[in-house]
Every structure is written in C-alpha cells, then in structure tokens.
C-alpha cells in the first residue's frame, strides 16, 4: 500500500511550521513559572525513563481534549497563557502535536529539540514519574 503522505513527510511539514526550542534554551526555562513542559509520551515510557522535573503529563491521545475549553476533559492549566514546551521521546510526536495545537489556536506552544532522548543524553535533570496518591 502506498500512502499519499508518510510519517516522515508529516513531521517535515510540521517542523517548518512550529517553533523548536534548543536544549540549552529549554534548560533555562526549567525554573520559569510561566513555562510548562508537557510530556506527551505514554505513561509506560514515563515509568521506564523518568521525565523532566515538574513536567505535566498529557498523553498524546488526550491532548486536544485537554486543551479545548469546550471539551469535558479540559484542563485549566492549558488556558493560563503559559509557554508550553511539548516533548516526547524523539521529537516526532511532539512536532505533530505542536502543529495541531497551533492549528487549534493555542498561543505560545513549541516543542523540545531532540525530545527526551536528547535531554537525557545531554545529562539534563530528570525525575521519576510521580506515583499516584495513596488514599487513606
């Protein structure tokens, strides 16, 4: 089966339309109260690999629903006007997700150069995925 457009072309198109934050610049945003790192990886990836400190986990499959104020799944953090830096493992999913959020009209959205793999390779800070709160 021949597709009209493959994943590599989709990613290449997205990369032309979105802002990519270089690792060294992204590190400077770590302590910025007006920046939210958004981890769109599957929960199993977070459990296995860890995540960027204070990142918000927003699974790729729910992202559009969490961002849209008209959705029953809306998360208010997405409406606070903060810079959003999306990331996944290798920056493929985050490139496509960033492009989608831009098309939806989300301001200040970008993605992390090289994804979490590049972040870890650069020895930048990581933390374990926080566990679920225990009910007592």
What does the radius of gyration of the chain's CA atoms come to, in whole angstroms? 15
pLDDT of residue 133: 59
pLDDT of residue 63: 96
CA 33, 63, 125, 22 torsion-angle sign: negative
pLDDT of residue 21: 97
Asked whether 91 and 118 are in contact (CB, 8 A), the reply is: yes
Give the model confidence (pLDDT) of 75-96 as tens digits. Answer: 999 999 999 999 999 999 999 9
pLDDT of residue 134: 53
pLDDT of residue 3: 87
CA distance 15 to 99: 8
Residues in Cβ contact with 9 at an 8 Å cutoff, skipping those fewer than 6 apart: none
pLDDT of residue 129: 84
**pLDDT < 70: residue spans in the chain:** 132-136
CA distance 102 to 21: 15
pTM, whole model, 2 decimals? Answer: 0.92
Backbone phi and psi for residue 23, each to the nearest 5 degrees, phi listed first: -55, -45
Residue ranges of domains in the chain, CATH in brackets: 14-121 (3.40.250.10)
pLDDT of residue 135: 56
């Amino acid at each position: 089966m021949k597709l009209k457009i493959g994943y590599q072309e989709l990613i290449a198109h997205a990369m032309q339309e979105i802002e990519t934050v270089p690792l060294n610049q992204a590190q400077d945003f770590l302590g910025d109260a007006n920046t939210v790192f958004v981890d769109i990886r599957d929960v199993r990836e977070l459990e296995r690999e860890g995540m960027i400190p204070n990142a918000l986990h927003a699974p790729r499959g729910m992202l559009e629903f969490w961002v849209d104020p008209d959705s029953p799944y809306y998360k208010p953090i997405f409406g606070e006007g903060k810079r959003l830096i999306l990331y996944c493992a290798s920056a493929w999913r985050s490139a496509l997700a960033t492009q989608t959020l831009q098309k939806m009209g989300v301001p200040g959205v970008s993605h992390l150069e090289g994804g979490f793999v590049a972040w870890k390779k650069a020895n930048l800070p990581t933390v374990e995925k926080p566990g679920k709160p225990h009910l007592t």
